[in-house]
Structure 1
Amino acid sequence: MTATESHTEVRPADAPEETPARLIPEALPLMPEDPPRVGEFWLRGRLGANAAGYLYTAADEHGREAVVAMMTEGSADDAAARDRFVTAVDEVPGDAVLAHNDSDDDDLALWVAIGPIRADDGTSAAADERLIAERRGEDVLSAVLMDRIPHTGRFRGPDFLHYWEGRRRPGLFRIWPLPWPNSLRAASRWALILSLITMAIIMALAVFLAWLLFRNAEPLEPEPVIPTPTGTATVTVTPTTPPPNTGSPSGSPSTGPSPTPVPTTGIPTGVPSSPGSPGTGDPGDKF
């Protein structure tokens, strides 16, 4: 056989053909109002939503995948809707319910994790498990919304509408322990560590530059006043101009102007010193 000849695989006539794997629908990204985690499952994306709740694709820390159905804030506040959710979860096969929260949590939205789902290995079995779990989650939310109940009689008047259908945000949830930093990938962890180290270096450099700039600074003028325990304070005033020249060395007469003599006459205080002195009389005259 030459090099140009090719080998052709001969399949037996009775050999079964491989079934092509079904296309698993892609999940939409999570929105800011979506919880990052419910129970032990980390949410990855949205699979669908209606007025009763949301469907999420999720996985726990061990890689176990599931579909999470969670109520909206409007349906979670309705006691009858919560009862329909619990009843629909009880109708799901026991081995398909991986986890759920307690129905007594009146302040939290009810949720259920449905599986099991094997990892997407390109086979039809993995796709089927994912689609089955998604259909079961849709059935739970449809039971809450009551949109699959067959109508009896003729359609007349307006259609039925729940009073809480306008409140379609995800219901209240509680996360403990906190998701940070467990939800970070390895690359995100290194980026966070490097950013913290960079911030610490910048702060240390700023403190060092401030010390270099102000280490030789002159003290404050005047110095701050520190009161004593008795409540008094002593202030020392340093003259900024030299005193006038009152004389010359070696006895030579001074050539500068002589200081003006200060009169030594007494300053009247308004108190009479003798009966005949000025300023005597009625003490009221001094005003």
Structure 2
Amino acid sequence: MTATESQTEVQPAERPVDAPVSLIPAALPLQPEDPPRVGEFWLRGRLGANAAGYLYTASDERGRNAVVAMMTEGSADDAAARDRFVFAVDSLPEDVVLAHNDEDDDDLALWAAFGPIREDDGSSAATDERLLAERRGEDVLSAVLMDRVPQPGRRRGPDFLHYWEGRRRPGLFRIWPLPWPTALRPASWAAIWYALATMLLLMALSLLLAWLLFKDSPPLNPPPVIPTPTNTVTTTITPTTPPPDSTGPGTPTTPDPSGSLPTGTPGEPSPSSTNPGDKF
């Protein structure tokens, strides 16, 4: 076997006709400051970013895939930058702009979703649609940044820099309806069910411990007062035994028929025991 034949054997096979020309780049994961949802599109990952905004890969509940361009907080606070974003989006064909928010939302960052993008079935058509949507998003953000404006004449002096280029966090957004639990993955659902099961188990264990602690406790003395349906409370008073009289042990005390109360100070003889002649 000659060297030419050996080299021919190790050459890779020819690429199929319907194989993708280039692989779709994987998106970076979302950061904590990224919105989970804008409009009806759930964001899945970052595709790119510059001082004007971010590019996200997204999909809605109907299964439509899209590329979302969203302004940063710095560019969203600039009225001129917002006008450039709106003008760039309006310049695109209507069938490629799937959705966008209202330009009158002054307190929110502007965004627009570009597509349509079919499911990634390994064909070159899906790749081309994805790359074309990304290119449209890049063009919109470049129009905001004005980095592709041709420069007449020679450059002199310092480079041009927007005053808001340092504020590169994603712009303000509003979420409604809330992202939970629609955007949860199967692993997140499993974690929620495990947490609920753990809480129910702890509650059952707490009730069991409380029953074991108080099942043999003596009853309250006196028992608790339970009001009747008419909001009246019946209280029973048990009379005590009166002290024995000085006339003798066990002799009951006879009340005075006249009903008068005794007067005088203790230790003095009562008026009835004195001589009636002493009154005059």
Q: TM-score, normalised by structure 1?
A: 0.69
Helix, strand or coil at the partner of 2:44? strand
Task: Give the match for residue 109 of structure 1.
Answer: 109
Distance 1:130 1:188 in 2: 28
Task: Give the match for residue 163 of structure 1.
Answer: 163
Distance 1:182 1:66 in 2: 18
CA shift, 1:24, in A, is 0.6
Distance 1:17 1:63 in 2: 28
Q: Which amino acid aligns with 1:128?
A: D
**Would the aligned equivalents of 2:18 and 2:124 in 1 still touch at CA under 8 Å?**
no
Helix, strand or coil at the partner of 1:47? strand
Q: Which amino acid aligns with 1:155?
A: R
Task: Give the match for residue 9 of structure 1.
Answer: none
Helix, strand or coil at the partner of 2:132? helix
Task: Give the match for residue 61 of structure 2.
Answer: 61
Helix, strand or coil at the partner of 1:98? strand
Helix, strand or coil at the partner of 2:127? helix
Distance 1:131 1:156 in 2: 36
**Would the aligned equivalents of 1:21 and 1:122 in 2 still touch at CA under 8 Å?**
no
Q: Which amino acid aligns with 2:174?
A: R
Distance 1:18 1:210 in 2: 70
**Would the aligned equivalents of 2:71 and 2:109 in 1 still touch at CA under 8 Å?**
yes
Distance 2:125 2:36 in 1: 28
CA shift, 1:215, in A, is 3.4
Task: Give the match for residue 13 of structure 2.
Answer: none
**Would the aligned equivalents of 1:73 and 1:109 in 2 still touch at CA under 8 Å?**
yes
Task: Give the match for residue 181 of structure 1.
Answer: 181
Helix, strand or coil at the partner of 1:58? strand
Task: Give the match for residue 258 of structure 1.
Answer: none
Instruction: Please show how residues 242-257 of structure 1 align to structure 2 within 5 Å.
Output: none
Alignment coverage as a number of residue pairs: 210
Task: Give the match for residue 73 of structure 1.
Answer: 73
Q: Using a 3 Å threshold, how does the CA distance of structure 1 residues 195 and 141 change in structure 2: closer, same or farther?
A: same
Distance 2:47 2:132 in 1: 13
Q: Which amino acid aligns with 1:56?
A: Y
Distance 2:125 2:53 in 1: 27
Q: TM-score, normalised by structure 2?
A: 0.70
Helix, strand or coil at the partner of 1:34? coil
The gaps in structure 1 that reach 5 residues or longer are: 1-15, 224-287
Task: Give the match for residue 85 of structure 1.
Answer: 85
Task: Give the match for residue 38 of structure 1.
Answer: 38
Distance 1:60 1:17 in 2: 32
Task: Give the match for residue 195 of structure 1.
Answer: 195
The root-mean-square deviation of aligned C-alpha atoms, in Å, is 2.2
Distance 2:170 2:122 in 1: 32
Distance 1:166 1:54 in 2: 14
Q: Which amino acid aligns with 2:55?
A: L
* Cα distance per residue 1:185-225 (max 9 Å; x no partner): 2343233123202211211211220231133346899x9xx
The gaps in structure 2 that reach 5 residues or longer are: 1-15, 224-280
Distance 1:169 1:107 in 2: 15
